DNA sequence: AGTTCAGTGATGCGT
DNA sequence: ACGCATCGCTGAACT
């Protein structure tokens, strides 16, 4: 008997029906089903990272005959179980989080620390996450004659980042505050470059601090050898 | 002994280190590790839908002492295993895909079929996925005096969808082709409405075909039983 | 509760 | 391979 209120691992021959924001069906087959203590439900097929069907934390599961029914905020997953191959209750399960580096936040902090270097001019003040009605500017830098609205991307900048900053510039235009738009990222796509040129946005290549310090380590080794 | 070339389920006390696009560490604890035949790797904690650490299809796994090392395109996950609680090889595992409805494509097709109704005027031609240098317009409708560039969203429209269509309008402005921008979706955010007004974009409320014909009665019956 | 945005986003489809 | 948009995105932060 499956206890649906505890975390479990289930390998079963089953078929799945989902209804909610969208609707989907999965033909009968052997799938892997995991349910976590917080209500999270995942049905995984043999390939791919993302689950075939899923429900985020908060779902309630019930067993009716050979059907497992999970429900959350108007969304329902119905698992019709034909054969159970493996059923395993998961007892001890840690709930730690990863500590992560090289995020956009890291890069933003690095840029703020070296803002005059990257903008190539005197800056009197920088504000992170400056709120506008059209969203928050990553970094707002106050120069002598104008503002600088800077959008930071941790990886490759695409054309939608250009749009993002244009929305912020719309606001500064409204309040008649001269502002230059900037994008700072390690990489940028060709389409974004073209669009930047048309819209008079500047792009500056920046590196993550850890990548920079790796370079300097190489340099030190080089120096030692010289 | 863990066979790293076959799909497996592993419950283990371990610690994880990830290095690649970003870097992360996960303190020692009891986690659930799944590896699929295509190389997919997931490390799941006790809560949340998304994995703590993961690798998409294509990763190669090797066992070195008590370390499981998975590598893919300059990205490495290192699992230091201290104690194995459960190890299970997953033999039969189906690789079917879900068939899904109420996608953006469904909605787009529905709109095209009733384009004159939704635009309230005579339309001589519609083109799906019309290519511009700034991206593809969902629906381009040719009216008597001007074009209509329509962005379709399956659910709630946010401010970034407005930006998207503005990029396409930039192109039509460049080629001096008068074009009206439209957003069609079941819902829209307040911020998007404001920005639409400023930018002279129109929003039209549209419903998914299945919602209109209210044939989701079977779901309601299901919910009643839950 | 609503809105916006980051993400190791992943995934698919186009060039 | 790169570029771009969608996703039942999820999750988090802030209003």
Q: How many CB atoms lie within 10 A of CB B107?
A: 22
Chain A residues in contact with B133 by the CB 8 A cut-off are 191, 194
- Tens-place pLDDT, residues B66-89: 999 999 999 999 999 999 999 999
Q: Is the CB of B91 under 7 A from strand C?
A: no
Q: How many CB atoms lie within 10 A of CB B185?
A: 22
Residue B114 pLDDT greater than 70, yes or no: yes
For each successive 10 residues of chain A (226 residues), what is the average pLDDT?
Answer: 83 98 98 98 98 98 96 97 97 97 97 97 96 96 97 97 97 97 98 97 94 52 35
Do B24 and A163 make contact, defined as CB atoms within 8 angstroms? Answer: no
The dihedral built from the CA positions of residue B102, B104, B108 and B114, taken in this order, carries a sign that is: positive
Residue B25 pLDDT greater than 80, yes or no: yes
- Tens-place pLDDT, residues A42-70: 999 999 999 999 999 999 999 999 999 99
Q: How many CB atoms lie within 10 A of CB B103?
A: 14
pLDDT of residue B123: 97
- Tens-place pLDDT, residues B138-189: 999 999 999 999 999 999 999 999 999 999 999 999 999 999 999 999 999 9
State the first-to-last Cα distance of chain A, in angstroms, to the nearest integer: 72
Q: Is the CB of B192 under 7 A from strand C?
A: yes
Q: Is the CB of A48 under 7 A from strand C?
A: yes
Residue B107 pLDDT greater than 90, yes or no: yes
Cross-chain CB nearest to A94 (options B29, B170, B216): B29
pLDDT of residue B82: 98
CA of A87 to C1' of C2 (A): 40
Helix, strand, coil percentages (3-state) for chain A, rounded to 5, are 25, 45, 30
- Tens-place pLDDT, residues B34-67: 999 999 999 999 999 999 999 999 999 999 999 9
Residues 6+ apart with CB under 8 A from B69: B61, B62, B63, B76, B77, B78, B79
Do B167 and A167 make contact, defined as CB atoms within 8 angstroms? Answer: no
Q: Is the CB of B138 under 7 A from strand D?
A: yes
Cross-chain CB nearest to B30 (options A24, A26, A92): A92
pLDDT of residue A79: 98
- Using the CA of A98, which nucleotide's C1' is the nearest one? C8
């Amino acid at each position: 008997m499956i206890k649906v209120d505890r975390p479990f691992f289930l390998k079963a021959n089953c078929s799945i029906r989902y209804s909610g924001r969208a609707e989907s069906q999965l033909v009968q087959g052997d799938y892997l089903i995991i349910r976590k203590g917080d209500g999270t439900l995942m049905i995984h097929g043999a390939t791919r990272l993302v689950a075939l069907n899923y429900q985020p934390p908060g779902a309630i599961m019930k067993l009716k005959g050979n059907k497992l029914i999970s429900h959350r905020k108007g969304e329902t997953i119905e698992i019709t179980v034909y054969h159970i191959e493996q059923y395993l209750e998961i007892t001890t399960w840690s709930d730690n989080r990863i500590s992560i580096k090289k995020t956009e936040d890291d890069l933003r902090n690095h840029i703020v620390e070296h803002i005059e270097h990257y903008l190539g001019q005197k800056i009197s003040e920088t504000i992170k996450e400056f709120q506008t009605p059209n969203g928050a500017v990553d970094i707002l830098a106050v120069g002598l004659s104008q503002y600088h609205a800077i959008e930071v991307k941790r990886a490759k900048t695409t054309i939608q980042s250009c749009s993002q900053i244009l929305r912020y510039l719309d606001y500064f235009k409204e309040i008649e505050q001269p502002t230059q738009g900037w994008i700072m990222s390690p990489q940028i796509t060709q389409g974004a470059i073209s669009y930047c040129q048309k819209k008079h946005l500047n792009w500056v290549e920046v590196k993550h601090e850890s990548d920079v310090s790796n370079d300097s380590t190489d340099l030190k080794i080089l120096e030692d050898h010289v």
